[in-house]
Amino acid sequence: DMLDNLAEKNAVYQVDEDWYFDITIDEKFGSLSHYGSKSMLELCQARGGDPQRPGKHNPLDCIVWQKERSGEPSWESSRGRGRPGWHIECGAIATKYLGTDFDIQGGGSDLVFPHHEMSASQARIANGEEFAKTYVHTAMVAYQGEKMSKSLGNLVFVSKLRASGVEPAVIRLALLNRHYRTDWGFSTADLDLAKR
């Protein structure tokens, strides 16, 4: 439905058999991240976008419907079998369950661009209303010099800290000892300081 709404507003176009969102339709595009074009292009490339794809109107335009690919999940739609892009999927789910006007969208700071910027832009154009009133993005936490992530296998679990005898209040204080938007690196020194 959201894709059809975008199509009615001439906000999508086809490249081969895939559909892309035209960011130039949204005069507020970039108002969430406040990044310049160069930063947006770098982040788009680094975070799964396809700015180099031939046929796109703008390198930052993102896919909203991808034609069915062998071995990948797909569903029937007004645009044929395929699957939604990540950004429109998020916007459509939020709109379905929260409505077209809700208070807070949150996540890690790595979601500001392109994910939240694109989701908000697509939903704003499709629905004619702002997506979320406020955005809350938490900082990235590093461990031993790298971003803590499941894919790297360098997660520090609260359950393991508790099993090793660290008190819950110490863990809470170590986590709350900085602003939620300030990147930081976790170490046992944080726990020692919190315990003292």
Residue count of the chain, please give it: 196
What pLDDT sits at residue 100? 85
Q: How far apart are CA 195 and CA 188, in angstroms?
A: 11
Rounded Cα distance between 21 and 125, Å, is: 10
Question: Which distant-in-sequence residues (6+ apart) come within 8 Å of 52 by Cβ?
Answer: 45, 59
- Distance in angstroms (rounded) separating the CA atoms of residues 4 and 10: 10
Tens digits of residue pLDDT in 12-37: 999 999 999 999 999 999 999 999 99
Tokens, residue 17 = 């058999």
Q: Give pLDDT, residue 139.
A: 92
- How far does the chain reach from its first CA to its final CA, in angstroms? 55
Alpha-carbon distances, residue 113 vs 12, 129, 158 (angstroms): 20, 20, 29
Measure the CA angle with vertex 13, ends 16 and 48; round to 5°.
Answer: 70
Whether the bond into 54 is cis, omega within 30 of 0:
no
Enumerate the β-bridge partners of residue 13. Answer: 20
Give the DSSP per-residue string, 106-134: EEEGGGIIIIIHHHHHHHHHHHSS-SEEE
Count of C-beta atoms within a 10 Å radius of residue 66: 17
The predicted pLDDT at position 181 comes to 92
pLDDT of residue 16: 96
pTM for the full predicted model: 0.85
Task: Check residue 149 and give its pLDDT.
Answer: 87
Res 159: pLDDT: 96
Structure tokens at 118: 């694109």
Q: What does the pLDDT read at residue 150?
A: 87
* List of the chain residues with pLDDT < 50: none
